[in-house]
Amino acid sequence: MLRKVFVDPFEGQRGVFHLTSSHLETSLLFQNEVDWRFGVNSLAICLIGQPAVSLLCYVLMGNHIHLLLRGRYADCMAYCDKLFYRLTAHIGRSRRRNGLLALDDVDIKPVTNNKQFQNTVIYILRNPFRARIASPFSYRWSSIGCYFPAETDPSSGRPVSAFTQRELRGILHTQETCPATWRIRNGVICNDGFVEGALVERAFGDSVNYFSKMRIYDMESAIKMADGAEEWLRYTDEELREKIALICETEFHVKNVGQLDRKSLLLLARTIARRFGASKKQIARLTGISIEVLDSVL
């Protein structure tokens, strides 16, 4: 597949770009803690050797990724290709699945003014709320903690210099030499080592402006509840996956979804929709059933 035609408004000079991977309907990029950690670490590791690219903001969602990058268009795409290749290789090794991340199927939006920049940061960070997964402030797999932190704990995490090269290879799965300023906490490279949070802070000007925009989600939630239209997912993908595994074992007498015949798979879809309030998109991601088929059975 050829990369989509893109006209660079910055004409080869440094600019800011919002990149979004394709939203997978019937699969997940990140299924467990190992996948999530690998994803965040990959964001950092792929910046090594890319000094002309800055990562300003990100969020990893179960079935897609948002990145806000600063640099020349060609350099940003080189970083994106490197990242997608690394994630694709990980998925291939761990799940024997290929092609979940199409390196050339990336949505790219240039960010050309400060208002658009602020809106894009808020849009990225509020993804977990819109997906009804979590509050933006409690979501672990984004750069949310990099901007206007209430307090900074420099002792949090261990510096990479405290690890042997063998230990780092075991944790990060890379031969790259990591910057000495990076810290690792619970197997994950700390965001403040590789996310350029200061650039985002300057764009917002002050914490009041930033937090007032971020906390709009509180108002949205209140309005939905007042209208009786609140439709929060009761379970995250990870939680629902555990429920599905138990149903497969106790009710269908198989080890996993992949062992179900088509009739049983559709019955499973109806079961989890009824019991757990799962949406069609969430069921599609976790079972591999297409949205079109789910439309006909749910």
Residue 105 confidence (pLDDT): 73
Residue 19 confidence (pLDDT): 93
pLDDT at 5 over 70: no
Read off the tokens for 39. 């994803």
How far is the C-alpha of 129 from the C-alpha of 162, rounded, in Å?
36
Closest residue by Cα to residue 25 from 298, 260, 286, 245: 286
Strand pairing category for 183-185 and 188-189: antiparallel
Residue 214 confidence (pLDDT): 82
**Domain extents for the chain?**
15-220, 237-297
Average pLDDT of the segment spanning 22-29 = 76
pLDDT at 232 over 70: no
Question: Which range is least confidently modeled, 24-33, 74-83, 200-209, 247-256?
Answer: 24-33
Average pLDDT of the segment spanning 121-132 = 86
pLDDT at 109 over 50: yes
pTM of the model: 0.77
Average pLDDT of the segment spanning 198-206 = 94
Percent of the chain with pLDDT over 90: 39
User: Which pLDDT band holds residue 195 (cuts at 50, 70, 90)?
Assistant: very high
Residue 100 confidence (pLDDT): 61
Which residue matches tokens 């990140």? 30
Average pLDDT of the segment spanning 255-278 = 87
Residue 222 confidence (pLDDT): 42
* Residue at 258: amino acid letter: G
Name 158's bridge partners. Answer: 184
Contact present, 261 and 239 (Cβ < 8 Å)? no
Contact present, 287 and 269 (Cβ < 8 Å)? yes
In this structure, the chain runs to a length of 298
How far is the C-alpha of 51 from the C-alpha of 42, rounded, in Å?
16
Residue 63 confidence (pLDDT): 86
Half-sphere exposure of 261 (CA within 13 A, CB side): 2
For residue 60, CA distances in Å to 128, 180, 182, 204 come to: 9, 25, 20, 23
Question: Which range is least confidently modeled, 128-137, 153-162, 219-228?
Answer: 219-228
Rank 25-34, 150-159, 186-195 by mean pLDDT and report only the highest.
186-195
Residue 230 confidence (pLDDT): 43
Residue 48 confidence (pLDDT): 95
Residue 32 confidence (pLDDT): 87
Phi, psi torsion values for 132, nearest 5 degrees:
60, 45
pLDDT at 74 over 70: yes
User: Which pLDDT band holds residue 61 (cuts at 50, 70, 90)?
Assistant: very high
Which of 2.120.10.30, 3.40.50.261, 3.30.70.1290, 3.50.50.60 is the CATH number of 15-220? 3.30.70.1290
pLDDT at 23 over 70: yes
pLDDT at 132 over 80: no
User: Which pLDDT band holds residue 229 (cuts at 50, 70, 90)?
Assistant: very low
